[in-house]
Amino acid sequence: MARLVLISLVGSWLFLYIDSVYQRRRAESLLADLRSLDFSTAGFAEVRDIMIRNGVRPGSTCDPQNCTFLLQIMTRLPRIPLLDRKATFFYTTLPYIGVRSWVLVAIFEVRNGKLERSETGIGEYKMERLDDSAYRQLVPLLYEVWTRREAASFEYPCSSQDYQVYVSHGGFKFPANALETCVAQSAGASVKRAFDVHLSCLNNPFRNCRFDELAPSAWADYSAKDGTGTGDPHNKP
């Protein structure tokens, strides 16, 4: 019986780890497509082709003049609704044995045949204690890239700049450690730096991802702007 239990545990761990590696490669393929996309001229055809290559089929209501594409790539655990103690147990325990839970979400809106806006986010699910509390809660590590056709279209806290990087700690009820990048879809904008994302740390069995590993170019830009040199790569500048 003990041997069967051990085999079952090892098999489950191997399945979860292999799934994470497979999903990471899917996500890396999408990010490579986004680095090569000319956001300043992108239209329905270019966005549709990227989505189809990465597993999304346009819906029946989607047309070149008005279409919203949604792509989600995630590991196995976030697909299971976990609450309270179950979430605390799994998201606290599994990282210690090298199984990390993360999700990538990409939204692209096409209006009048042109790419109007996009939102791409990569988040790792983590349980942390806040303010020295004994209670653990979900505080995801996030890196997000927001693009708009014009810099003036950005909402707060992005300002009317072609390129901006800042750090957010979420809200009171939904805390997070987030690095946010806003890029205008204009010629010469730093889109490649924004999508310079390295996902290998999501499969690191020994330590958590850090911003300087996950998004090195964006983190370097933020650190230089913030005047902190290399910054604090442990998510709290």
Does the structure show a pLDDT above 80 at 113? yes
pLDDT at 213: 94
Who wins on pLDDT, 237 or 181?
181
Ranges 59-68, 175-184, 201-210, most confident: 175-184
pLDDT at 44: 95
CB-count exposure of residue 173 (10 Å: 0-12, 13-18, 19+)? exposed
Tokens linked to 199? 């996902």
Does the structure show a pLDDT above 60 at 177? yes
Who wins on pLDDT, 201 or 146?
146
> How many CB atoms are closer than 10 A to CB 60?
6
Confidence band of 216 (pLDDT split at 50, 70, 90): very high
Find, among 123, 125, 120, the residue nearest to 101 by Cα.
Answer: 125
- 138 and 87 Cβ atoms separated by less than 8 Å: yes
Instruction: State which H helix or E strand residue 30 sits in.
Output: helix 2-36
- 183 and 217 Cβ atoms separated by less than 8 Å: no
Average pLDDT over the chain, rounded to whole? 85
How many residues appear in the chain?
237
Confidence band of 106 (pLDDT split at 50, 70, 90): very high
Who wins on pLDDT, 225 or 74?
74
Bridge partners, 108 (sequence order): 69, 118
Confidence band of 229 (pLDDT split at 50, 70, 90): very low
Return d(Cα 164, Cα 159) in angstroms, integer: 8
> How many CB atoms are closer than 10 A to CB 151?
19
SS3 120: strand
What value does the mean pLDDT take over residues 78-94? 75
Return d(Cα 120, Cα 191) in angstroms, integer: 12
Max Cα–Cα distance, the chain, nearest Å: 65
Write down the domain spans for the chain: 2-226
Does the structure show a pLDDT above 50 at 233? no
**Residue 34 amino acid letter:** L
Confidence band of 174 (pLDDT split at 50, 70, 90): confident
Tokens linked to 151? 């810099």
